[in-house]
Structure 1
């Protein structure tokens, strides 16, 4: 069970995963050794799953982002799992969500331009027999919320 100190550490790391341990300790009012041990424990318990770098899309050639809703024609564990693996194997897919409702997946994609998006949807999605329907929404702006929900 996480306590208020764990939540404070998680909030700080969510905002800046590169924050030095001494700063984590100072900002939460605990000893550096305690901060180090708590973060280690949260990693081992799979509470902290990893760290990432937020990269400017334009810097790596992404000029257009979209959210694509995908509905499968049939459902079985093997089809759903196989399609999920397919999406995660595509370099254009920035994030993949398996969802409930009318659609089965949401894929957040990053591409060069509208022609790249067109080619991607045609080759990676519409040519797959398990796909029944896709709907594409362009993303004008994306910002990650670094805040955590309030302490339970």
Structure 2
């Protein structure tokens, strides 16, 4: 994927949109000193280039009944292309998995799992993850509290 060149105005737009995704185009244009039409064109260009990957609301998991979070390290039994593709396909179908990252080191993947409670986690682990013949080992750590959880990217270094 090619890197998109961003100027100071693009970076200013992104900074505001990351903090205030619901801001109106008129207010956004005023904040970055552009006309409304120029602002809209720039935002649309950033969307089309994939720099802005989408818009969403940040939902507090505990407030919607998802009170348990865990990080689960997974080691696959096999590492051929078919096994990796099959694991990726399954992980993408599991609603409990908020994110999955391929890793270097002794484990192959890190899953961020968000579930209702320990019983839900146990069912996920036993019925889905470990019931899969492709998983050799798992190691789980439960989140006690979030010390830092950043949803915005720091773009200052790009100026």
TM-score by length of 2: 0.88
Residue of structure 2 in register with 1:151 after alignment: 157
Residue of structure 2 in register with 1:31 after alignment: 35
From 134, 138, 144, the counterpart of 1:140: 144
Once the two structures are TM-superposed, the CA of residue 120 in structure 1 deviates from its matched residue by 1.0
Equivalence map 1:73-152=2 (5 Å): 73-142=77-146, 143-152=149-158
Question: What SS class does the counterpart of residue 112 from structure 2 fall into?
Answer: strand
Once the two structures are TM-superposed, the CA of residue 113 in structure 1 deviates from its matched residue by 1.0
- Partners of 1:85 and 1:16 lie apart in 2 by 33
Once the two structures are TM-superposed, the CA of residue 100 in structure 1 deviates from its matched residue by 2.3
- Partners of 1:94 and 1:20 lie apart in 2 by 29
Q: How many residues align?
A: 152
Structure 2 unaligned spans of 5+:
none
More displaced 10-residue stretch of structure 1: 58-67 or 35-44: 58-67
Question: What SS class does the counterpart of residue 51 from structure 2 fall into?
Answer: coil
8 Å CA contact retained: 1:25, 1:32? yes
8 Å CA contact retained: 2:15, 2:155? no
Once the two structures are TM-superposed, the CA of residue 150 in structure 1 deviates from its matched residue by 2.1
8 Å CA contact retained: 1:71, 1:104? yes
8 Å CA contact retained: 1:68, 1:107? yes
TM-score by length of 1: 0.92
Over residues 16-39 of structure 1, what are the superposed CA-to-partner deviations in whole Å (9 max), with x where a residue is unaligned?
A: 211111121111111111110001
Residue of structure 2 in register with 1:5 after alignment: 9
Structure 1 unaligned spans of 5+:
none
Where does structure 1 differ by over 4 angstroms across 4 or more consecutive aligned residues? Answer: none
8 Å CA contact retained: 1:4, 1:151? no
8 Å CA contact retained: 1:7, 1:151? no
Question: What SS class does the counterpart of residue 133 from structure 2 fall into?
Answer: coil
